[in-house]
Structure 1
Amino acid sequence: MVSEFDVIARYFSRPTPQAVLGPGDDCALLAPAAGSELAISTDMLVEGSHFLPDTDPCQLGWKALAVNLSDLAAMGATPRWALLAGSFPEGRAVWLEAFATGFFACATHFGVDLVGGDTTRGPLNLCLTVIGEVAAGTALRRDRALPGDDLWVSGQPGLAALGLAHLQGTTRLSEGLARRCLAALQQPRPRVELGRELRRRGLAHAAIDVSDGLLGDLEHVLERSAVAAEVSTTQLPYLPAGADPTLARRCQLSGGDDYELVFSAPPAKRGALSALAAELDLPLWRFGRVFAAATATDATRLTVVDENGQPLAIDRTGFDHFG
């Protein structure tokens, strides 16, 4: 029988050049750069809740790390280290090999060292902690949106939720569209470079990554910043051709699993943001505006309007594990 330490040594041991001391001791030893603050985030991925049981393990390895790096991207932090705690069913050598391949492909791409963690036998459950660095006092936060700011979103939110709907059989997509949507779902690209440049160039006031739904995550920014906002569906990314438009719009507004960035920025930065979009070859969409909230606890702080400027009734803004 393969032991816990065999699993760690065989699948999850790699050089850790960014750490003073990597895996193998009671703790890792890390030395942040002078003048930096640490940005730290933890997320779990549970089979059946966050991914389907037959998900390709190599793609899951990539996604497990990528979705956590998205939190660092939202604060403009540079990823440095990760810890992985996993519960794995017995007898999964081939699965573990593929998972580790995907995980370290993502780690290598974004310059991350795996410096520790834990493994145990049990139902498949993954818990990632990621640590990044950001220059002291400069991190993008959720509580800094200001009245008058524009609202922006990167990429094309909604594709991942459409991909999930396709897998679950609630819609049928063409082969080409299905391929795009499944790639968005299974191998998301955290917007690390975008977040870093927004922070470094002073282009954004507040930011958040879209994990649970565009509107739902935007509401977190509005609540923390004590502001309100109006969003126009006509300024959002185009809906993919060939998809049911009602479903596609619902996926776009509240589907989640996109890992794009939503951020607020002053109107004076529009030109610089357009230039950054071209530089990164990443679409940035200006889709709304921030306003002063009527009260600090305004329950209607988010309004969504259609092409005629009429408010739309939105029954679900995002995913909630306990909702």
Structure 2
Amino acid sequence: MENNSFPIGKLDPRFLEELFSSLSDDKRVIVGPGIGKDAAVIDFGKTCLVVKTDPITFTSCNLGWYSVNINANDIACLGAAPRWFLATLLLPRKGTSEALVKRIFEEVNSACQALGISLIGGHTEVTPRVAHPIMVGEMIGEVSREKLIDGSGVKLGDAILLTKGIAIEGTSVIYQEKSEKLKEQFSDKMLSRMKN
């Protein structure tokens, strides 16, 4: 990668693999960084800690709710119970009010309570470097070694069970951000499905 300009979105997987190849190893890390690996797993004997970090940059609507739920989902995908959450909240100078910060914290608290998760720390900051609120969440979960789903047994030809629709999260975000424009093109029934 000679070009210093990257497109918007995730970094190129080949470039990431190059970066990962130079990282040090720890024998207790069962699942470390890698393409398609959404959380790390650390061996603590009979139990494992599952750790996930994910930023919410695509929307400011329901920011706290999305941060908790997206991180919790990635923990649960490895068979672990999400238990502890840390949140870093970066706020723009313009448009930040006590009411906005309280609303975001209420979203985090409500989402944590609904899932039995404790908010255990984080960081808040008003900075000129962002134009809208951004939250980076870190979720920590735990699972017994026997119940860990680390993906190492997945092979070509395995069946996939889809329990809900595809792109539910993305569809909801698009609705939150562009509902007025969508009203011009979609029925009320379809808009209701997008919203919920």
TM-score, length of structure 2 as denominator length: 0.64
Matched ranges for 1:222-241 at <5 A: none
Going from structure 1 to structure 2, the CA distance change for 1:120 and 1:162 (only over 3 Å counts) comes to: closer
1:37 corresponds in structure 2 to 48
1:116 matched to 2:121? The reply is yes
Kept after mapping to 2: 8 A contact 1:64/1:128: yes
150, 169, 174: which one pairs with 2:181? 169
Kept after mapping to 1: 8 A contact 2:56/2:66: no
Cα separation, 2, equivalents of 1:160 and 1:127? 17
1:157 corresponds in structure 2 to 166
1:28-85 alpha-carbon deviations (Å, 9 max, x no partner): xxxxx97211000001112xxx11x5x2xxx222111101111011101001101111
Matched ranges for 1:1-323 at <5 A: 35-46=46-57, 50-51=58-59, 55=61, 59-90=62-93, 91-122=96-127, 123=130, 124-163=133-172, 164=174, 167=179, 169=181, 172-183=185-196
Kept after mapping to 2: 8 A contact 1:65/1:107: yes
Cα separation, 1, equivalents of 2:90 and 2:168? 29
Larger radius of gyration: 1
Gaps of 5+ in 2: 1-43
Q: Which amino acid aligns with 1:103?
A: V
Going from structure 1 to structure 2, the CA distance change for 1:146 and 1:168 (only over 3 Å counts) comes to: farther
Cα separation, 2, equivalents of 1:133 and 1:159? 26
Cα separation, 2, equivalents of 1:76 and 1:151? 16
Q: Which amino acid aligns with 1:133?
A: E
Number of residue pairs matched? 144
1:193-236 alpha-carbon deviations (Å, 9 max, x no partner): xxxxxxxxxxxxxxxxxxxxxxxxxxxxxxxxxxxxxxxxxxxx
Instruction: Report deviation, 1:147.
Output: 4.3
Kept after mapping to 2: 8 A contact 1:160/1:181: no
TM-score, length of structure 1 as denominator length: 0.41
1:265 corresponds in structure 2 to none
Going from structure 1 to structure 2, the CA distance change for 1:130 and 1:175 (only over 3 Å counts) comes to: same
Instruction: Report deviation, 1:137.
Output: 4.2
Gaps of 5+ in 1: 1-32, 184-323
Going from structure 1 to structure 2, the CA distance change for 1:79 and 1:160 (only over 3 Å counts) comes to: closer
Kept after mapping to 2: 8 A contact 1:160/1:182: no
Identity of aligned residues (%): 20
Kept after mapping to 1: 8 A contact 2:54/2:137: yes
Going from structure 1 to structure 2, the CA distance change for 1:169 and 1:78 (only over 3 Å counts) comes to: same
Kept after mapping to 2: 8 A contact 1:43/1:68: yes
Instruction: Report deviation, 1:132.
Output: 0.2
